[in-house]
Structure 1
Amino acid sequence: MPAAEVDLILPCLNEAAALPWVLGRLPAGVRAVVVDNGSTDGSPDIAARLGATVVDCDVRGYGAACHAGLQAATAPVVAFLDADASLDPHQLVRVTAPVLAKRIDLMLGRRRPVSRDAWPWHLRLANAELSRRIRRRTGVRLHDLGPMRAARREALLGLALVDRRSGYPLETVVRAADAGWRIAEVDVDYLPRSGRSKVTGTPLGAARAVVDMTKVLGR
């Protein structure tokens, strides 16, 4: 088989119900790298049966899973996507194409909810405030720190990211901006996710995410 142009890193914690839909909608030239972060519902076996490369990550945390996938990837460009079916892999080309063409160094998907249930108002408000802080800190005008993003693998590794929790995407943007990267965003559909979010699905999870991201901005 030809080498993949893009390795899609999918952090995964108990996403057995969503994985068949997600992995069945990969664009051509994309290889799925499912990073299991301690699933107990058979997610790794399902991913392997569907043709994904499965990586085990024993350290709990969204950033830990993302970074383990980044280290395991081999394609020149890597993309990230939640494995919960909240974003359509068919739209992945919107973020990968500008990176493959070397027009953009870091492209993010700006989430556009398809229904009121897809993105609760309190999470939209928190995201808007976070985007405002990013603009103030970096000068980069983003409207969303969404989970769909793409960049060149070697360049990402060169950023030497250290956050292993919810602050990983934010640290990516901040360090990329400090390094002078060309950063942009493009609209992508945001769907009601399968199951409850492991990060912001509970008040405690949301509070932890806020703490993690505040620490990143304070460094």
Structure 2
Amino acid sequence: MNAIDVVLPCLDEAAALPSVLAAMPAGYRPIVVDNGSDDGSPEVAAAHGAVVVAEPRRGYGAAVHRGLEAAGSEVVCVLDADGSLDPAVLPEFVERLRDGQADLVAGRRVPTSASAWPWHARAGNAVIAGLLRRRGLPVHDIAPIRVARRADLLALGVADRGFGYPLELLLRAAEAGWRVAEVPVDYRPRATGTTSKVSGSVLGTVRAVRDMAGVLR
């Protein structure tokens, strides 16, 4: 069976990458998309067996889209590179997709500790997920880890290149009639012991919610 590509958008994750890449299941090929790191992340990723591609335009969506372009497998996974999510769950996601249970299999985060997911980040996520449910999409999270067919993802035409990318993906998936399945996943503190660069601070959460609110508008 051909390897399944795993897109890992990356910005300054040199400390986390070794453990993340070591946990990758057999048959899964990590593609680390460097989004302008200053800490040697590309070199660390390459030294631990990952394919490394560069995306100079800053933004989560820009990095994910570049990874999808670089991927070659029929089914593609997307996962953060910070160690907060365990790559070992990916085979279950892929099995659900291939069994025809869904067109998009997404994770629903279950924090393993209070520090893993600060209150302001949980609150912002709950607001966005609630708005999605009002639009008929039965989700409780914004797909922090997801699996779908590469061609289908690209055909959705997601345009956001910032933090609004996951939300736009879900909205477009709903418009396209996709079946979305959520799977609970442990959400851990980042491998470095620090909080997320995006949602680890109130300012980061505000920026993310701002981008997502723009998508909803």
**TM-score normalized by structure 1?**
0.94
> Which residue in the other structure is 2:203 paired with?
204
Q: Is the 8 A contact 1:35 1:65 kept in 2?
A: yes
> Which residue in the other structure is 1:30 paired with?
28
Per the alignment, in what secondary structure is the counterpart of residue 207 of structure 1? helix
Q: CA RMSD in A?
A: 1.2
Listed one character per residue, the Cα deviations across residues 101-157 of structure 1 (whole Å, up to 9, x for unaligned) are 3321001111111112111122112111111001112x0111111311111000000
Q: Is the 8 A contact 1:94 1:186 kept in 2?
A: no
Matches within 5 A, 1:108-127: 108-127=106-125
> Which residue in the other structure is 1:9 paired with?
7
Say yes or no: does 1:183 pair with 2:164: no
Per the alignment, in what secondary structure is the counterpart of residue 116 of structure 2? coil
User: Sequence identity of aligned pairs in percent?
Assistant: 56
**C-alpha separation in 2, matches of 1:128 and 1:201:** 16
Structure 1: state its 5+ residue gaps: none
**C-alpha separation in 2, matches of 1:14 and 1:119:** 20
Listed one character per residue, the Cα deviations across residues 159-211 of structure 1 (whole Å, up to 9, x for unaligned) are 01100000000111100110001111011111011334222233332222111
1:53 Cα shift?
A: 0.6
**C-alpha separation in 2, matches of 1:124 and 1:48:** 33
> Which residue in the other structure is 1:152 paired with?
149
**C-alpha separation in 1, matches of 2:143 and 2:2:** 27
> Which residue in the other structure is 1:21 paired with?
19
**TM-score normalized by structure 2?**
0.95
**One-letter amino acid matched to 1:132:** G
> Which residue in the other structure is 1:43 paired with?
41
> Which residue in the other structure is 2:132 paired with?
134
**One-letter amino acid matched to 1:181:** W
Number of residue equivalences: 215
Listed one character per residue, the Cα deviations across residues 2-31 of structure 1 (whole Å, up to 9, x for unaligned) are 631x21100000101100100001112211
**One-letter amino acid matched to 1:151:** A
Q: 1:59 aligns with which of 43, 53, 57?
A: 57
Q: Is the 8 A contact 1:76 1:152 kept in 2?
A: yes
**C-alpha separation in 2, matches of 1:63 and 1:33:** 15
Q: Is the 8 A contact 2:125 2:141 kept in 1?
A: yes
Q: Is the 8 A contact 2:36 2:58 kept in 1?
A: yes
**C-alpha separation in 2, matches of 1:217 and 1:112:** 25
Per the alignment, in what secondary structure is the counterpart of residue 9 of structure 1? strand
> Which residue in the other structure is 1:170 paired with?
167
> Which residue in the other structure is 2:158 paired with?
161
Per the alignment, in what secondary structure is the counterpart of residue 199 of structure 2? coil
**One-letter amino acid matched to 1:207:** V
Higher alpha-carbon deviation: 20-29 or 197-206: 197-206
> Which residue in the other structure is 1:215 paired with?
214
Query: Structure 1: which 4+ aligned runs deviate by more than 4 Å?
Result: none
**One-letter amino acid matched to 2:46:** A
